[in-house]
Structure 1
Amino acid sequence: MIYWWQKGYKDVCLKRRSREGESFIKKTTSHFYYKLLQHLTDIPIQPDVGDSRLLDRKCIDALKSIRETQRYTKGLFSWIGFEKKEILFDRKPRVAGKTKWNYWKLINLAIQGITSFTITPLRIASGMGAVLAIIAILYMLYILSLTLIYNNPVPGYPSLICIILFIGGIQLFVLGIIGEYLGRVFIESKNRPPYFIKSYIRGEK
């Protein structure tokens, strides 16, 4: 790690090439989680990378400037940027003891990772509400056409379902809009620096 740091890399980390001793379920869920996180966020979060790494002073200063208390370190390491170098290794099975990371803690960590770096779930909720409202409107137009044009009265049950879908869709859409504003307030409350200074160039006086 020191070798690559001396080569100019600011963040030298260890990446698991293999995960011996882990169950198939854990490997699969971990793989899909990182795939989901990559699609939801604009940050290239490194998969299969642990917290064992060598950080340059510039990276440490950047992390210290972030004042938020709920820290998802895997995301923060990627968010600060700087040159990164991954060193592959094969992780052997645990020799003694048991991991303290049960599935419940891993689920909480996954939720923290998603909510710390994206408001996409709020936008998905808003989009689902809009889609439901549009489907309800189209179905109402279909019912009206059957009644007015073809003189085919539709029973009250489909109409009731259509109204429920429309109202539910509008509610979900409005909640999504409110969530969008709350998400922006949430991002601003983190007070993350807009940029980091990589180097200074002294000009001539």
Structure 2
Amino acid sequence: MTCRQENAGVYAPVHRHMKDASECTRPKLISLVMPAYNEQGTLRVAFDRLEDVFAGSPYEWELVLVNDGSSDDTLLEATTYRSRAFRMVVVDLSRHFGKEAALSAGLRSASGDAVIPMDADLQDPPELVLEMISRWAKGAEVVIARRSDRGSDLWTKRFSAALFYRAFNMMSDVAIPENVGDFRLMDRSVVDAINGLPENRRFMKGLFAWAGFRTEEIDYVRPSRASGATKFNTFRLVNLAIEGVTSFSTAPLRLVTYLGVSVAIAAMAYGCYIALRTLIYGVELPGYASIVSLLAFLSGLQLLGLGIVGEYVGRSYMESKSRPPYVIRGIFRSDAG
């Protein structure tokens, strides 16, 4: 089995799902999309688990691993691995673009009849893939894995995740299922629909939910990481939450409008009160502390409003440049055997 590099480009080729007479006889191809950023220590364990799961399966298997600008030997580990059960497609990005961009690159490079994004840290159990495929074979176009128990996560992460899902679903017309990540099975028609979207700044959980299609859920217990530590810190999670809200809702802009109207009405009412009080009781000694506090409060509201408007303006500015979400340095392929 040899490993060869293809020409690099901005996007990997978009594979169209062509239906012909041979489709009825050939085995279905299942593609797993695995973004990886400094996952050298977990890849071999993940590959061995996949070998065990795929052994004796009637399907053909493809693992699309996206090296998201790793600084360790993730790329070397992936390109030198020789699988017995699945063929390997390694997409090497030119730098670290982030998980959302890496996932987009993997979806564009996957050629399977069904595509399953999953993490390299084995918190997405490979054994659940077979049950997803069983649901897909019975007619489901999307099979999502819902975490019934997040005991492996810190309480702060569980609390912030629950808060985000509730706030997002209140503001957005597209509801994201709670405790559902990127781990899911999608039919080729779903993947083609997502790949065809023109936007470059992508919040993938929202796009998956926006696409719709016939969806079923599978509950599972999320295990701990196989090794290493998560690459998402609090700052990145907050940025991802802001990205998601501004991608799918204009409710924050409306909220600022309502808040401005409320403050204006309150200011007018207070002005009328001061005028009547002055007419009745005369002028009192000014309260400098209350004036300073009121000015600080109103200034904070103005800065908040400018910040929210700036998020939307900045997003429009970045989209107007039409820059791709990622750049591919090269693609390496190896066959099973």
Q: Does TM, scored on the shorter chain, surpass 0.5?
A: yes
Q: Which residue of 1 aligns with 2:244?
A: 113
- Matched residue type, 2:267: A
More strand by share: 2
Quick check: 1:10–1:84 contact (8 Å CA) kept in 2? yes
Q: Which residue of 1 aligns with 2:70?
A: none
What is the distance in 2 between the residues matched to 1:24 and 1:128? 32
What is the distance in 2 between the residues matched to 1:33 and 1:57? 29
After TM superposition, give the deviation of residue 42 of structure 1 in Å. Answer: 1.4
Q: Which residue of 2 aligns with 1:125?
A: 256
After TM superposition, give the deviation of residue 40 of structure 1 in Å. Answer: 1.2
The verdict on how the C-alpha distance between 1:43 and 1:157 changes in structure 2, with shifts beyond 3 A counting, is same
- Matched residue type, 1:76: L
What is the distance in 1 between the residues matched to 2:235 and 2:313? 27
Q: Which residue of 1 aligns with 2:11?
A: none
Q: Which residue of 2 aligns with 1:86?
A: 217
Structure 2 unaligned segments of length 5 or more: list them. Answer: 1-131, 321-337
Work out whether 1:16 is the aligned partner of 2:131.
Answer: no
Work out whether 1:33 is the aligned partner of 2:134.
Answer: no
**Which of 169, 173, 179 is residue 42 of structure 1 equivalent to?**
173
CA RMSD of aligned residues (A): 3.6
What is the distance in 2 between the residues matched to 1:159 and 1:97? 52
Quick check: 1:16–1:49 contact (8 Å CA) kept in 2? yes
Quick check: 1:133–1:170 contact (8 Å CA) kept in 2? no
More helix by share: 1
The verdict on how the C-alpha distance between 1:161 and 1:93 changes in structure 2, with shifts beyond 3 A counting, is closer
After TM superposition, give the deviation of residue 151 of structure 1 in Å. Answer: 4.2
After TM superposition, give the deviation of residue 155 of structure 1 in Å. Answer: 3.3
Q: Which residue of 2 aligns with 1:200?
A: none
What is the distance in 2 between the residues matched to 1:15 and 1:160? 52
Q: Which residue of 2 aligns with 1:72?
A: 203
The verdict on how the C-alpha distance between 1:182 and 1:104 changes in structure 2, with shifts beyond 3 A counting, is closer
* Matched position secondary structure for 2:253: helix
After TM superposition, give the deviation of residue 58 of structure 1 in Å. Answer: 1.9
The verdict on how the C-alpha distance between 1:22 and 1:182 changes in structure 2, with shifts beyond 3 A counting, is closer
After TM superposition, give the deviation of residue 37 of structure 1 in Å. Answer: 0.8
The verdict on how the C-alpha distance between 1:36 and 1:147 changes in structure 2, with shifts beyond 3 A counting, is same
The total of aligned residue pairs comes to 190
After TM superposition, give the deviation of residue 175 of structure 1 in Å. Answer: 6.3
The verdict on how the C-alpha distance between 1:113 and 1:133 changes in structure 2, with shifts beyond 3 A counting, is same
Work out whether 1:6 is the aligned partner of 2:137.
Answer: yes
* Matched position secondary structure for 1:50: strand
- Matched residue type, 1:112: E
Displaced runs of 4 or more, over 2 A: 148-165, 167-172
Deviation per residue, 1:81-106 (Å, 9 max, x gap): 11111111111112322221222221
The verdict on how the C-alpha distance between 1:130 and 1:154 changes in structure 2, with shifts beyond 3 A counting, is farther
The verdict on how the C-alpha distance between 1:103 and 1:163 changes in structure 2, with shifts beyond 3 A counting, is closer
Quick check: 1:14–1:52 contact (8 Å CA) kept in 2? yes
Quick check: 1:146–1:154 contact (8 Å CA) kept in 2? no
- Matched residue type, 1:124: L
The verdict on how the C-alpha distance between 1:145 and 1:34 changes in structure 2, with shifts beyond 3 A counting, is same
**Which of 173, 177, 184 is residue 53 of structure 1 equivalent to?**
184
* Matched position secondary structure for 1:26: helix
Q: Which residue of 2 aligns with 1:201?
A: none
The verdict on how the C-alpha distance between 1:18 and 1:156 changes in structure 2, with shifts beyond 3 A counting, is closer
After TM superposition, give the deviation of residue 148 of structure 1 in Å. Answer: 2.2
After TM superposition, give the deviation of residue 8 of structure 1 in Å. Answer: 1.8
What is the distance in 1 between the residues matched to 2:258 and 2:300? 9
After TM superposition, give the deviation of residue 21 of structure 1 in Å. Answer: 2.1
After TM superposition, give the deviation of residue 149 of structure 1 in Å. Answer: 4.0
Work out whether 1:146 is the aligned partner of 2:277.
Answer: yes
Q: TM-score, normalised by structure 2?
A: 0.48
